[in-house]
Amino acid sequence: MFEVELRGTVITDIASLYDELNRGFMQSEDWRLGESLDALDDLLYGGIGDAVGHDRIRVTWHDHELSRAALGVDTTASWYEAKLARPGTFNAEKITRDLAGLRAAGGPTYFDLVLEVFASHDNVELVLA
């Protein structure tokens, strides 16, 4: 089993989340995972990074409540707005709906979306500590 510990105390925004994922999963690589939920999904399949060759992955996310706050509504709204600022690159209709839902109901946040990616992998155990 490949084990990673994420430090929620250093996750203050989306960029620092991926910095922490790179620290945990990509130490032996000469390239870095991009800031993308699709890239995280690919990483958790175990075909890239330090988890290659391991059939199971355990991620312990320490101080996850700090990360939940950092990756909350404001960060998520900014992420959606940045996507909308690049017309033709993303599905603007879906992002507009998602942004409206975020503002109306408070979620799902980027943190929630990350948890969804983790939950979609049967080979990954996520421990929120």
Residue in the block written with tokens 């059939």: 55
Biggest alpha carbon–alpha carbon distance for the chain: 43
Tens-digit pLDDT profile for residues 32-87? 999 999 999 999 998 899 999 999 999 999 999 999 999 999 999 999 999 999 99
- Bridge partners, residue 6, by sequence: 61
Is pLDDT at 107 greater than 90 in this prediction? no
Cβ neighbours around 110 below 10 Å, total: 25
Task: Provide the 8-state DSSP code for 53.
Answer: T
> How is residue 49 written in tokens?
């990074």
